[in-house]
Structures are given as structure tokens and as C-alpha cells.
Amino acid sequence: MSRERPTKTRLPRPAGRGSAEISQQQMTSPASQSLLSHLPQDLFTSLFNHTTTVRLKPDEVLFLAGDVGDGCYRIEEGLLKVMMMSRAGLERILAFLGPGAIVGEISIIDGLPRSASVVAVRSTVLSFLSRADFENFANKNLEVYKSLLTLLAARLRETDTTIAAGSFLPLRGRVASTLLELAQDFGQDVGSGRIVIHQKIGQSDLAAMTGIARENLSRILNDWKRRKLISRFSGYYCIENKAQLQREAEL
């Protein structure tokens, strides 16, 4: 059963931003994973027993920041980009989410409008869970609320760390922190201390994830390449000196 969507909206590409260079592999970091995905497996499976299907084309908007939060979505196929856009058209990427991830769950908990925009990077299939169905299920299974309370506390601690990094780290520290997080989530040690980040990420997307201008990012990366802290081949970043990047990322 497919959920009817009243409009088919596509988000304009911001000026100066390239398209996402993301591989077919799932790209979703533990820090950005949904609260609901950490529920006990039996509750999680039962919660998503009764959903409807939504299909998106590349660049089609799932929802925009400020939209009514009427439910959440589990990604079955494809890739989504979670982002925020400034009035000047500058894009800040919060996360890329692939199959198995859930998006939009905050609104089904607090009933407030969407806090970020979500756009399909490629053709995507999702399962939609309405807020009414979630509340009905949670009221019958109070363990859901207990699990969410614990997870929300953990998320708050992560937010404190993120705010501190964004407020106190210089540009180089912010870039180092982003690369180290990507390496933790998607990296593979290929020997001699080298870690390959197994996702193809363009400089525009890396800049949007870090929250700095692409020109500044390019200067920092070029300097690190000359100093052999990082390298890049076939579109993949490789960390050559993890210890030095960690020092750059220290508050």
C-alpha cells in the first residue's frame, strides 16, 4: 500500500554546491542513528508491522524544516540526506542515512514541526509510521518510553560535545573531528596505521558536514596532504596519521 503524497517537491541545489558523491553502500553513522532503532528488537519489529509505503525520486523532498511532524519513516532502499539550509542558501549536512535507518522520529515524540529537511539522494523506498500509530503502540508497551528516556539522555550528552566542538575548535580542528568521525563509522584499517574511509564524499559535502567554506576546507586538506596526514585516491579519503589528526581535534 502506497501513501498518497499531495505534492512532488524537488529541492533546488544550492549555488556552488556539487551533487553528493556517495557510494551505493549505506552511509549512516551511529551518532546520527534514530532513537527508535535502539529499541529492543521485539518492540522495534512490532512497531513497524503496520506501515505504508512512500517512494521518492532523486532530489525529491521527503519533508522540510517546519513541516508538520505527522510520523516517521524507515528507509528500505536508497539514500537520504538530512540537512538544514540558511536564508542565504548555504547548506549544512547533518547526516546521510541508508537502508535500516529511521528519520523523523523526534516529531512523533514531541508533536512539534520538523527540525530539519530531508531529501532523497537517489531513488528511495520508505515505510511510514504515523504518530497516532506510534502513540497507540507506546501506550500499550510502556517499555518504549523507558528506552527512549535512556537514549534521549545519551543523545543530550552527544549534543553537548558537538556544541563544544563547534564553538571552541578552530577550522582545522573541526575538519579533523569530521574526518575522525567518518573513519570511526566507515573506516577500514589497511595496514601500517592507514585508515580508508569507505564512502566517496566530495569536498562540497565534506564542507557542508563540517560547517565551513569549501575554500577553507580545500586549503586545510591540501596542507594535510603535503604533510602526509591524509591522502585521497579514487574518491576515497585515507587517514595516514590518525594521532596527529586527534591532536588537531582536541579542545
Confidence bin at 166 (pLDDT 50/70/90): low
Model pLDDT, residue 130: 93
Q: Is the pLDDT of residue 181 over 60?
A: yes
Model pLDDT, residue 26: 36
% of the chain surpassing 90 pLDDT: 34
- Mean pLDDT of all residues belonging to the chain: 80
Confidence bin at 158 (pLDDT 50/70/90): low
- Give the model confidence (pLDDT) of 26-41 as tens digits: 333 433 456 676 778 8
> Which of 2-6, 44-48, 193-197 comes out lowest in average pLDDT?
2-6
- At position 218, the amino acid (one-letter code) is S
Contact 45, 141 (CB under 8 A): no
d(CA 201, CA 203): 7
Model pTM above 0.75: no
Contact 61, 119 (CB under 8 A): yes
Model pLDDT, residue 198: 80
4 versus 245: which is more confidently predicted? 245
Q: What is the 3-state secondary structure (H, E, C) of the chain?
A: CECCCCCCCECCCCCCCCCCCCCCCCCCCHHHCCCHHHCCHHHHHHHCCCCEEEEECCCEEEECCCCCCCEEEEEEECCEEEEEECCCCCEEEEEEECCCCEECHHHHHHCCCCCCEEEECCCEEEEEEEHHHHHHHHHHCCHHHHHHHHHHHHHHHHHHHHHHHHHHCCHHHHHHHHHHHHHHHHEEEEECCEEEECCCCCHHHHHHHHCCCHHHHHHHHHHHHHCCCEEEECCEEEECCHHHHHHHCCC
186 versus 170: which is more confidently predicted? 170
Model pLDDT, residue 108: 84
250 versus 89: which is more confidently predicted? 250
> Which of 62-76, 128-142, 200-214 comes out lowest in average pLDDT?
200-214
Number of other residues whose CB lies within 10 A of the CB of residue 157: 9
Model pLDDT, residue 92: 84
Model pLDDT, residue 45: 86
- Give the model confidence (pLDDT) of 112-142 as tens digits: 999 899 999 889 999 999 999 999 998 888 8
